[in-house]
Amino acid sequence: MSTVTTRTDALLEEVDRYSAANYLPLDVVIERGEGVWVWDVEGRRYLDMLSAYSALNQGHRHPAIVGAALRQLERLTLTSRAFHNDQLGHFLRELCEATGFERALPMNSGAEAVETAIKMVRKWGYRVKGVPDGQAEIIVCDNNFHGRTTTIVGFSSEAGYRDGFGPFTPGFRVVPFGDADALAAAVTDRTVGVLVEPIQGEGGVVVPPDGYLARVREICDLSGAALVLDEIQTGLARTGRLFACEWEGVRPDVLVVGKALGGGIYPVSAALADREFMDVFRPGEHGSTFGGNPLAAAIGRASLGVILEERLSERADELGRWFMGELRRIETPHVREVRGRGLMIGVEIEESSGTARPYCEALKERGILAKETHRQVIRFAPPLVVSREVLAEALGPIREVLAA
Ligand SMILES: *Cc1c(COP(=O)(O)O)cnc(C)c1O
């Protein structure tokens, strides 16, 4: 029997043989990307509706970001923080000006920026709030996703994220997401911080009730706990505002950003805060070899520039409202709910219709790349540079798959 082996098969076999099995990707091997499109090794074109979990808000290889990266590659890429570089100050100033914070601490991955925020509010709790040493508590939400470090998975409620990885860092307390009363009841005088995502991304695009975030802010104010918002996924224009917390007029004490800050080119993250919080760090108390390197800083500046100059928040707001409306109009027994904000949209599949995975596979066959999250939810989060025409065209195959 002769078997035809495609390039895709060969590449899948190779990665299957040498890779750890910690992911379950769709069977598509991508070799090129531009804007909202990617091409696989067989030359097939797909609309990217995942955007690398919102790390590609500006689209694949945005020319302004690629240009900035190339120019910086020709000049200087790494100094470590043992020395200064001529890009970091500009990057941090532009980031602070865009977000309204006094200081920023640059890291690489999102998880590192979350860890930075955790260390910051703990130290602030001891030094400024006066919590007895070693007793600080941080309140987090059920169904959270903040990254994959041992400390962070220790306060996850997802068995698959934590089982077998203990013992875990103490000092975290979990309350239901979206329930401000439960949060208020959990706060003690040892609570140094409340860490929350404005909309839970990996948890299945879970939007809390209106007014929730404002009440969380109020509870933090009353109890003297720091509000730490993880906007790694919701931030940088994804939900139709530069940050999702703007929907409720909330300003956190610590804002964590990542993903799209690197423009889909390079890992760039940061924790932002005013001096009261940031100044707890003294030389040697925190750092990263690569954090704030000149290449990251140049890319971060360009990434932020594109988001602001191309008014990606407005685009996400306008297109998101329309697209979500269209998705809600699809008549099908398989969809339980369409929810989200801006272009962060989740389509929850009825349990009786199976999991979201086969729907994502069927979408892939029709040239649309989306990924299931939390078993039942298909996430639609295209690059924010997408046009209404392209989204309108995608509705055809989406209808076909959802209504089948
Ligand atoms: C992706 C994500 C993280 C982790 O970012 P990494 O760069 O993968 O470490 C943290 N929080 C949220 C809300 C995220 O979506």
C-alpha closest to that of 311 among 34, 102, 57? 57
Mutate to test the pocket of ligand 1, among 140, 195, 255, 259 (most ligand atoms within 8 A of CB): 259
Looking from the CA of residue 200, the nearest atom of ligand 1 is 13
Average pLDDT over residues 166-171: 98
Share of the chain above pLDDT 90, in %: 98
How far is the centre of ligand 1, averaged over its atoms, from the C-alpha of 396 (Å)? 31
Looking from the CA of residue 202, the nearest atom of ligand 1 is 15
Gap between the Cα atoms of 87 and 77, Å rounded: 10
Gap between the Cα atoms of 122 and 125, Å rounded: 5
Q: What is the pLDDT of residue 1?
A: 45
Looking from the CA of residue 230, the nearest atom of ligand 1 is 13
Whether pLDDT at 195 is above 80: yes
Q: Which residues of 151-171 are buried (b: 16+ CB within 10 A; e: fewer)?
A: bbbbbbbeeebbeeeeeeeeb
Given the residues 123, 129, 259, 371, the one annotated as active site: 259
Whether pLDDT at 7 is above 90: yes
pLDDT in tens, 83-107: 999 999 999 999 999 999 999 999 9
Whether pLDDT at 241 is above 70: yes
Which token pair is 44?
Answer: 């097939």
How far is the centre of ligand 1, averaged over its atoms, from the C-alpha of 36 (Å)? 21
Which token pair is 196?
Answer: 């929350």
Looking from the CA of residue 111, the nearest atom of ligand 1 is 9
Alpha helices (runs of H) in 204-290, residue ranges in sequence order? 212-223, 275-278
How far is the centre of ligand 1, averaged over its atoms, from the C-alpha of 271 (Å)? 13
How far is the centre of ligand 1, averaged over its atoms, from the C-alpha of 232 (Å)? 6
Average pLDDT over residues 198-214: 98
Spatial CB neighbours of 181, under 8 Å, sequence gap ≥ 6: none
pLDDT in tens, 12-41: 999 999 999 999 999 999 999 999 999 999
Whether pLDDT at 350 is above 80: yes
Mutate to test the pocket of ligand 1, among 23, 143, 146, 265 (most ligand atoms within 8 A of CB): 146
Looking up tokens 């295209």 gives 382
How far is the centre of ligand 1, averaged over its atoms, from the C-alpha of 134 (Å)? 27
Ligand 1 is surrounded, with C-beta below 6 A, by 53, 109-111, 114, 145-147, 197, 201-202, 230, 232-233, 258-259
Whether pLDDT at 2 is above 70: no
259 classed as catalytic: yes
pLDDT in tens, 250-276: 999 999 999 999 999 999 999 999 999
Q: What is the pLDDT of residue 3?
A: 64
Q: Whose CA is nearest to atom 10 of ligand 1?
A: 146
Which token pair is 3?
Answer: 């078997």
Q: Whose CA is nearest to atom 15 of ligand 1?
A: 233
Given the residues 145, 243, 290, 323, the one annotated as active site: 145
Gap between the Cα atoms of 18 and 83, Å rounded: 38
How far is the centre of ligand 1, averaged over its atoms, from the C-alpha of 196 (Å)? 12
Q: What is the pLDDT of residue 202?
A: 97
- Going by pLDDT thresholds of 50, 70 and 90, the confidence category of residue 71 is very high
How far is the centre of ligand 1, averaged over its atoms, from the C-alpha of 114 (Å)? 8
Strand partners, 103: 273
Q: What is the pLDDT of residue 161?
A: 96
What's the whole-number average pLDDT of the chain? 97
In the sheet that 45-48 helps form, which strands lie side by side, from edge to edge? 30-34, 37-40, 45-48, 368-369
Average pLDDT over residues 67-79: 98
230 classed as catalytic: yes
Spatial CB neighbours of 227, under 8 Å, sequence gap ≥ 6: 193, 194, 196, 216, 217, 220, 250, 252, 253, 254
Looking from the CA of residue 147, the nearest atom of ligand 1 is 4
For the whole model, what pTM was predicted?
0.98
Given the residues 230, 277, 281, 364, the one annotated as active site: 230
Q: What is the pLDDT of residue 404?
A: 85
168 classed as catalytic: no
pLDDT in tens, 334-345: 999 999 999 999
